[in-house]
Chain A
Amino acid sequence: MKGQIDKITDSEVLFEQEFKINGGDFINAGESSSKLKNILKEIGINTDIIRRLAIAAYEAEVNVVTYARHGIMRILIYPEKILLTIEDEGPGIGDIDQAMQPGYSTATEEIREMGFGAGMGLPNMKKNADIFNISSIVDKGTKLEITMNLNDKNA
């Protein structure tokens, strides 16, 4: 596996929820990130963190819809951080460094016409996350980890 992910944390999980994402379902793309956002608002997470996480989650969700067969978005809230993981079964990414370049995209013309696939998804996620991890196996799938710190100063 490329870009091995660090062992996350041992501290207590306060909240956990999963959302299923269906590949190719552009009609409902964005539903999961929207539900996720509303949960974070009710819990009282700082608005800036919600904004950044919502953008990252939406980009990730659209990626699964666009490229993968299906995926799972999982939110884990710890006392000191929020961890969002998005795991999909799909083609995977051969060259992650290249995929992280702004503007690089493998999207077809059809998908671009729908307003997706501009090549900004992964760079945008990285920009909005406090910590961003990506790992992928070609022909198997991709796993993203987005971490937001909840230290008391800005949370």
Chain B
Amino acid sequence: MPEGKLLHSVRVNKDKCIGCGKCMRACPTKAIRVRPQKASINYERCIDCGECLRGCPNDAIEPIITSSADINKFKYQVAIPSPVIYSQFGPQTMPNEILSALKEIGFDYVYDEALICEMQSMVIEEYLDKNKSPRPIISSTCPVVARLIQRLFPCLCELIIPIEPPREIAAKILRKEISEEQNIPEEEIGIIEITPCAAKMVSINQPETMEKSHLDGAIPIKDIYNKVMMILKKEKQTLMLQEQGPISGIGIGWAISGGEIRGLKYHQSASVSGVYDTIKILEEVESGKLKDIEYLECLSCPDGCIGGPLTVESRFIAKSNIIKLSRIYGNKKRVDSNRVKRLYKEDFFSFESEVKPKPFKPLDKDRSQAIKKMNLKQELFEKLPKRDCGICGAPDCATFAEDVAQGKAKLEDCIFIKK
């Protein structure tokens, strides 16, 4: 793991930033300002959604990820590729070939995360059957959604399903299995997720629901893309002959929005993707509007994990590839349901601790001061042009009014206000 604690998943490269403000406008939590000339992120408000990364035309927003040097310190290196990887190399490339290519790159062991996703579908069903807690139960898969709930919708924390996501379960199972089978001490095994997701490093370094993550790091799909592509082009014949273990068709579907709920036959469920739509739906949950929905899958990236910022293939093509693969592999169960039920009873999948509310700071610690600032903010807002031009360095007029009320900006920074 990298030294020191990483606070967040992205940073601004000030040399590349031209101050255009696209990241600032894209940010759903208004965490970015362009003041005076370059973008800066208020990490206090960042939820690691990666919208700024997506929005930046100059690659000035950089993801913070495990480097290969961090992995090399482990004797035995294991890759758990997100099922998204199967969508990245064209419709003719089969999962098994991709897993083999990853081994060629130098991993000692590769494992199909989709198998654990399939397992997870059973666990969710089991949880919904056995638990009569308030609805809707919200998926725990997306680390951004979990953070979004902690910060923006703190009173919904109790609705998050207290079950670890597939990547953690996969690492937990593999570390034990490999250590026992190959007689390697657990701490010498490095388990890395190959990921489409910018928020993974944060969730690995600062897990919210356990002491320490089962994973040792994450590598962007982008970073291994060229190497894998090269091997696929050159050694296709030999790759096809290698067998890397079973592939789950049910689990592959988890790469796209709706994958988690496809298996829920007896429970009314819904899937939402994209951070803005997720915020909208969570607003509705908060108003008590969605009591008829039993399970709610929310994924912060558009169309689900295939829309992650660390992918290469267009998400529309990636989606088409996943749908094709799901069809080829079908709905055949690869996971032993008795084993899942047994592990479920042992609390193997459960959170060690619950997700704690971490609401954004109010306008002031002191309530009467906060109310004064709220009144001031509304008063200031009325004076502003409401064009949300962003020239002042804040994303919109309402946020600018708040900055002024907080003493972080001057009213004259607005070019529409006459000095």
Residues on A lying within 8 angstroms of B by beta carbon are 14-15, 17, 30, 33-34, 37, 39, 41-45, 47-48, 50-51, 54-55, 58-59, 77, 79, 115, 124, 150, 155
| Chain A CB within 8 A of B341 CB | no
Tell which of B83-91, B212-220, B281-289 binds the partner. B281-289
| Chain A CB within 8 A of B371 CB | yes
Tell which of B106-114, B221-229, B359-367 binds the partner. B359-367
Q: Cβ of A34: which chain B residues have Cβ within 8 Å of it?
A: 283, 287
Q: Cβ of A43: which chain B residues have Cβ within 8 Å of it?
A: 362-363, 367, 370-371, 374
- For A41, A45, A48, the residue with the greatest tally of chain B CB atoms inside 10 Å of its CB is A41
B287 touches A15 (CB 8 A): no
B287 touches A33 (CB 8 A): yes
Closest 10 CB pairs of A and B: A44-B362, A51-B155, A58-B287, A55-B288, A47-B155, A14-B371, A47-B154, A43-B370, A15-B371, A44-B370
Docked complex Cα distance between A144 and B320 (Å): 52
CB of A33 to closest CB in B, whole Å: 6
Interface flags for B232-247 (1: CB within 8 Å of A; 0: not) read 0000000000000000
| Chain A CB within 8 A of B331 CB | no
Interface flags for B267-308 (1: CB within 8 Å of A; 0: not) read 000000000000000011011110010000000000000000
A77 touches B289 (CB 8 A): no
B284 touches A41 (CB 8 A): no
Q: Cβ of B362: which chain A residues have Cβ within 8 Å of it?
A: 41-44
Q: Cβ of A150: which chain B residues have Cβ within 8 Å of it?
A: 367
Q: Cβ of A17: which chain B residues have Cβ within 8 Å of it?
A: 378
B286 touches A77 (CB 8 A): no
Given contacts A51-B286, A58-B289, contact A15 B360 (CB under 8 A): no
- For A44, A47, A79, A124, the residue with the greatest tally of chain B CB atoms inside 10 Å of its CB is A44
Tell me the count of chain B residues lying within 8 A, CB to CB, of chain A.
25
Docked complex Cα distance between A147 and B357 (Å): 24
25 contacts between A and B (CB under 8 A): A15-B374, A17-B378, A34-B283, A37-B283, A37-B286, A37-B287, A41-B359, A42-B362, A42-B370, A43-B363, A43-B367, A43-B370, A44-B362, A44-B363, A44-B364, A44-B365, A44-B370, A45-B367, A47-B359, A51-B155, A51-B286, A54-B286, A58-B287, A115-B292, A124-B288
- In the complex, which of the residues B292, B361, B375 contacts A15, with contact meaning CB atoms closer than 8 Å? B375
| Chain A CB within 8 A of B92 CB | no
Docked complex Cα distance between A79 and B367 (Å): 8
B287 touches A30 (CB 8 A): yes
A30 touches B365 (CB 8 A): no
| Chain A CB within 8 A of B368 CB | yes
Docked complex Cα distance between A52 and B68 (Å): 49
A41 touches B360 (CB 8 A): yes
Q: Cβ of B360: which chain A residues have Cβ within 8 Å of it?
A: 41
Q: Cβ of B288: which chain A residues have Cβ within 8 Å of it?
A: 54-55, 58-59, 124
Given contacts A43-B374, A51-B155, A55-B287, contact A79 B368 (CB under 8 A): yes
Docked complex Cα distance between A79 and B287 (Å): 25
Contact residues, B145-188 vs A (CB, 8 A): 154-155
Q: Cβ of B374: which chain A residues have Cβ within 8 Å of it?
A: 15, 39, 42-43
Q: Cβ of B371: which chain A residues have Cβ within 8 Å of it?
A: 14-15, 43, 77
B155 touches A30 (CB 8 A): no
Docked complex Cα distance between A50 and B368 (Å): 17
